[in-house]
Amino acid sequence: MKILAFETSCDETSVAAFERDRGVVAERTRSQMVHATYGGVVPELAAREHLRILDQMTRDVLAEAGWEPGTVDLFAATRGPGLIGALLVGHTFARTLARILRRPFRGVHHLVGHLYSPLLTRKGLEPPFLALIVSGGHTELVRVDDWMVHRILGHTRDDAAGEAFDKVAKMMNLGYPGGPHIEKLAQNAAEGVSFPRARVEGLDFSFSGLKTAVLYWLRDHPDTNLAEVARGFQEAVVQMLLEKLNTAWEQHPTPRVVIAGGVARNGRLREVARTWAQDRGVQLWIPAPQYCMDNAAMIALAADLAEQQGCPPTDPMASPSPGEPIPEQECVHEPTMGTTRPDRS
């Protein structure tokens, strides 16, 4: 089974060639630099940039994989959520190739891609597991009961965790995306400023209060040590994430926990999560850093899982779905013959 997958939901353009038995055989991911001067993603520029480079990237991936386009068994692309213009580029590109070459097409939910992304570099992840997805657009706690069977337990009520990193970095005149800049700066501080943490009922998150606290701190302390601000902010986000993850796990004590999405690249989050998991005998699954950020490999892997689960094929005329929540049931699980467990596990 050869899958050619595309991810263009935001500001990463990514193409991956993926084989069921071998995993990723070739890939290209490019982060768009055009947004850096604006301190955030400009949707129209993102769509144009995807369009400009997608054709050449696809040729490069096919050449590296040694695949003729006609040998691809399945074309896949992110269907949403994301920026509509950006989504349309990759989705239409993949659908058109599929149509010309008379092959099937599968639209993949972006967050479902993140959910299973640890499997790209490590085998053995099996449902049930609990997942924390932390990215620039999302902060979600999800329980995965079976392959492609998901239950949203909590999400952010305002900013996503990565968005908070980006906005605080902007306040401090650091570059975009802000997460890596804040993490680096925080390493220069022996201690962090103590910021108040939001208390939100249940399993939802809120980061806007923390963001405002940083804003007021910077306004009221013009001579403050920025590294101490970065460290205090990062610590507060990490503690808020872990606190909710812990509450969710106490309510749903699964043997495995996934942390995925761009913010999962953060070294401090990884360290605190590792200790948390060790203390509870939980198996922690965090993707390799290059697969935390948006990438087409995770879209290919999720498409393959959906195929193996016998999920109904995507309507070839389907449009992208920019605001779609995580599907609770990606496939209708009927007891069909030939529905197999993924052999990558």
Stretches 19-27, 171-179, 250-258, 293-301: which one binds Zn ion (CB under 5 A)?
293-301
135 binds Zn ion per the rule CB under 5 A: yes
The CA dihedral of 37, 42, 44, 45, to the nearest 10 degrees, is 30
Stretches 26-34, 58-66, 134-142, 303-311: which one binds Zn ion (CB under 5 A)?
134-142
Distance CA 24, CA 16 (A): 7
Is the four-CA dihedral 241, 30, 147, 121 of positive or negative sign? negative
Stretches 57-65, 158-166, 190-198, 305-313: which one binds ligand KG4 (CB under 6 A)?
158-166
179 binds ligand KG4 per the rule CB under 6 A: yes
177 binds ligand KG4 per the rule CB under 6 A: yes
39 binds ligand KG4 per the rule CB under 6 A: no
Q: How many residues bind ligand KG4 (CB under 6 A)?
A: 20
Q: By C-beta, is 135 or 308 nearer to Zn ion?
A: 135
Q: By C-beta, is 138 or 256 nearer to ligand KG4?
A: 138
Q: How far is the CB of 249 from ligand KG4 (least distance, A)?
A: 22
156 binds Zn ion per the rule CB under 5 A: no
Q: How far is the CB of 183 from ligand KG4 (least distance, A)?
A: 4
Residues in Cβ contact with 294 at an 8 Å cutoff, skipping those fewer than 6 apart: 7, 9, 10, 12, 14, 29, 110, 135, 262
The pairing of strands 105-109 and 129-134 is unpaired
- Assess contact for 298 and 117: CB atoms under 8 A: yes
Contact residue for Zn ion among 294, 304, 307, 330 (CB under 5 A): 294
- Rounded alpha-carbon distances, angstroms, from residue 283 to 128, 133, 286, 327: 12, 16, 10, 25
Q: How far is the CB of 29 from Zn ion (least distance, A)?
A: 12
Distance CA 189, CA 247 (A): 30
Q: What is the pattern of x (binds ligand KG4, CB under 6 A) and - over residues 252-281? A: ---------xxx-xx---------------
Alpha helices for 144-288 (secondary structure H): 161-171, 178-186, 208-220, 226-251, 267-280
Both structure tokens of 316: 């070839």
Question: Which residues of this chain interact with ligand KG4, rule CB under 6 A?
Answer: 10, 135-137, 162-163, 165-166, 177-180, 183, 261-263, 265-266, 293-294
Question: Which residues of this chain interact with Zn ion, rule CB under 5 A?
Answer: 135, 294
